[in-house]
Amino acid sequence: MRIEGSGAIVVGGASGLGAATARSLHEHGAPVTIADVNAEKGEALAAELGEGARFAQCDVREAEQVEAAVAGAAEAVDGGLRISVCCAGVGWPEKIASSRGPHRLEPFEIVLGINLVGTFNVLRFAAHAMLAAEPLESGERGVCVNTASAAAFDGQVGQVAYSASKGAIVGMTLPAARDLADKGVRVVTIAPGTFDTPLLAALPQEKRDALAAGIPFPRRLGRPDEFAALALHIVSNQVLNGETIRLDGALRMPPR
């Protein structure tokens, strides 16, 4: 799919992987809606990017807010919505059981609510909006890119909630792609490893160096722009569909 001129939405687009993807889409000529729960950061990024960028406040757990953000993105450009990227996500470290008791239910539900239900909300509303678009010459109507994690496959100690949420995103990728195949809408998931995001920026340099040392090659943290480059390639490469792509430098996460 041609990126230039194609309407796009990046959910969780105010920072980290999402912000890098929104920037890259905008640089390549896509009118982009930055949807995020953080209005201050989202509005600042949209203002920085300028013409062709807009912000929509959106909590992915709230179906009405997601639907409105997607509808706004579809209405913002001739041809409707063609590209959806969901990067919204959170983590919560807690063991399934310890001397302090069993894993609390509330944080588990919050993580699944944002990471899994949120991704599902974005996917279902974005895909439905794409069905309204006229198919391109190739028959394609749009592409939805989800974000999982290496933790979907190699969950570490204390990652029960996070791994469950990301594993479920991987699990719904193929059936969603099959559901939408006859309509010309593709679904692909990226499973990033350890990336240099605002979350990791808060760690001491010693800890950051230790994380980087565990990556076979390149022996460094991934850069958000590298995630964005893969997202844009997925959009451009029509044969990529129904697949989860690990983006992790051959990292296989140890138990701890």
In a domain, residue 234? The reply is yes
CB 30 within 8 A of CB 7: yes
In a domain, residue 114? The reply is yes
Per-residue pLDDT tens, the chain, 256 aa: give them: 899 999 999 999 999 999 999 999 999 999 999 999 999 999 999 999 999 999 999 999 999 999 999 999 999 999 999 999 999 999 888 899 999 999 999 999 999 999 999 999 999 999 999 999 999 999 999 999 999 999 999 998 999 999 999 999 999 999 999 999 999 999 999 999 999 887 777 677 887 888 888 899 999 999 999 999 999 999 999 999 999 999 999 999 888 8
Catalytic positions, written as ranges: 162
**Is 10 in a helix, a strand, or coil?**
strand
CB 245 within 8 A of CB 188: yes
Q: Which residues have C-beta within 8 Å of that of residue 126, sequence separation ≥ 6?
A: 9, 70, 81, 84, 142, 144
Domain count, the chain: 1
In a domain, residue 179? The reply is yes
Q: Which domain holds residue 141?
A: 7-246
CB 219 within 8 A of CB 67: no
Q: Give which of 196, 175, 150, 161 is closest to 242, Cα–Cα.
A: 175
Q: Give which of 142, 150, 146, 141 is closest to 121, Cα–Cα.
A: 146
CATH code where residue 11 lies: 3.40.50.720
pTM for this predicted structure: 0.95
CB 23 within 8 A of CB 229: no
Q: Is the dihedral of CA 6, 12, 17, 20 positive or negative?
A: positive
Report the side by side order of strands in the sheet with 81-86.
Answer: 53-57, 32-36, 7-11, 81-86, 142-147, 185-192, 244-247
